[in-house]
Amino acid sequence: MTVGNVIKKYRKNKGMTQEEMAARLGVTAPAVNKWEKGNTLPDVALLAPIARLLGITTDELLSFKDELTDEEINQYLSNIQKDLESKDFHDVFLSVKEKIEEYPNCERLIWQAAVILDAERMAAELPDSDRYDDAICGWYERCLRSEDERIRGQAADSLFHTFIRKEDYEKAAQYLDHFSLENPERKRKEALVNSKTGKRAEAYRAYEELIFSGYQHIQLTLNDLRILYMEDNDHEMARKLVEVSSSAAAAFEMGRYNEVCWGLDVAVREKDVAWTARLIREILDSVGTIGDFARSRLYQHMTLKPVDPDFSTSLKRELLTSLEDETFHYMQGNEEWEKLKSGE
What tens digit of pLDDT does each residue of 76-120 get?
999 999 999 999 999 999 999 988 888 888 889 999 999 999 999
Position 31 in a domain: yes
Lowest mean pLDDT among 61-70, 137-146, 167-176, 275-284: 61-70
Mean of pLDDT values over 260-282: 93
CATH value at residue 103: 1.25.40.10
Indicate whether 333 and 215 sit together in one domain: yes
CATH value at residue 54: 1.10.260.40
Instruction: Identify the three-state secondary structure at position 237.
Output: helix
Position 121 in a domain: yes
Range of the domain at 254: 209-341
What does the pLDDT read at residue 14? 86
Given a cut of 90, whether residue 2 has pLDDT beyond it is no
Position 232 in a domain: yes
User: Helices (DSSP H) in the chain: which residue ranges?
Assistant: 3-13, 18-25, 29-37, 47-54, 58-61, 70-86, 89-102, 107-123, 133-143, 149-165, 169-174, 184-196, 200-231, 235-251, 256-260, 264-270, 273-286, 309-322, 335-341
- 2 vs 255, higher pLDDT: 255
pLDDT-derived band at 36 (thresholds 50, 70, 90) equals confident
Indicate whether 19 and 122 sit together in one domain: no
Domain count, the chain: 3
What does the pLDDT read at residue 65? 54
Mean of pLDDT values over 322-341: 87
Given a cut of 60, whether residue 302 has pLDDT beyond it is yes
209-240 tens-digit pLDDT: 999 999 999 999 999 999 999 999 999 999 99
Given a cut of 60, whether residue 66 has pLDDT beyond it is no
C-alpha 96/C-alpha 79 separation (Å) is 10
Q: Which of 134, 141, 131 is closest to 90 using CA atoms?
A: 131
Given a cut of 70, whether residue 252 has pLDDT beyond it is yes
Long-range contacts of 101-105 (CB under 8 A, 24+ apart): 101/59, 102/65, 103/63, 103/65, 103/67, 103/68, 104/57, 104/59, 104/60, 104/63, 105/1, 105/6, 105/60, 105/63, 105/67
What does the pLDDT read at residue 85? 92
Give Cα 85 distance to the centre of its chain.
Answer: 32
